[in-house]
A and B are shown apart, each in its own frame.
Chain A
Amino acid sequence: EVHLVESGGGFVLPGRSLRLSCTTSGFTFRDHSLSWVRQAPGKGLEWIGFITNKASGGTITYAASVKGRFFLSRDDSKSIAYLQMNSLQPEDTGVYYCARDLGTAGPYYFDGWGQGTRVTVSS
């Protein structure tokens, strides 16, 4: 069974950084891509980034809203994906999810979500 668990969320001051982790199990991590999605309080889902596996070229893409501030990476030896978030602003507040993505060249379909980790950016 595909299992994803996000961690690393918390309360952070504007302008600071935070790194989220997505720890996975139940599948061969190195063979799969991942997407990250966030949800602001009371709002809908917003896709923020995608990272494919090395065999597919290691493609990483970002939504315009986070490009240049957020960075995705992965450690295949640990089956963990990371979301490094820099220069955080109050509008980055929300629940952050990772999802297993069936796309290879770009984000496509998900077939599993994590339970999410909450990030609050406030002074």
Chain B
Amino acid sequence: SSELTQDPAVSVALGQTVTITCQGDSLKKYYAGWHQQKPGQAPVVVFYGKDNRPSGIPERFSGFGSGPTASLTITGAQAEDEADYYCSSRDTTGNLLLFGGGTRLTVL
């Protein structure tokens, strides 16, 4: 299929670990990118590909992909991690880019 599916909302206690998932057929072939967006701000890339974390992104952000599921794990979530998280990946043809619907992360 040509879509990526994310849970609409996830919550985590401060300092605990949370995993945000993304599902889609194209993820069997391509790794995902992950984008954090805080209210009123532009998105920021926090992880992409097999094991790439952009400069300046804390090490607590890590990505993993297996079959039709990609995941973003935040180990020791901080208050400033509260945001919307979007996954992205090529579609099954490799010609277009898809975004998941986004997951709103609440840090309790």
Contacts and interface: CB of A to CB of B under 8 A. Distances in A.
Interface of A: 35, 37, 44-47, 50, 61, 63, 97, 102, 105-116
Interface of B: 30-31, 33, 35, 37, 42-45, 48-49, 52, 54, 86, 88, 90, 94-102
25 contacts: A35-B97, A37-B43, A44-B99, A44-B101, A44-B102, A45-B35, A45-B88, A47-B88, A47-B99, A50-B97, A61-B95, A63-B96, A105-B94, A107-B90, A107-B97, A108-B30, A108-B33, A108-B97, A109-B33, A109-B52, A109-B88, A111-B48, A113-B35, A113-B42, A113-B45
Contacts of B97: 35, 47, 50, 106-108
Contacts of B54: 111-112
A111 B55 CA distance: 9
A37 B44 CA distance: 13
Given A44-B99, A45-B99, A47-B88, A110 B42 contact: no
Given A44-B101, A45-B35, A45-B86, A107 B45 contact: no
A111 B99 contact: no
Contacts, number: 67
Contact of B33 (A46, A61, A110): A110
Contact of B45 (A44, A47, A106, A111): A111
Given A35-B97, A45-B37, 7 more contacts: A50-B97, A61-B95, A97-B42, A106-B94, A106-B95, A108-B33, A113-B44
Contacts of A97: 42-43
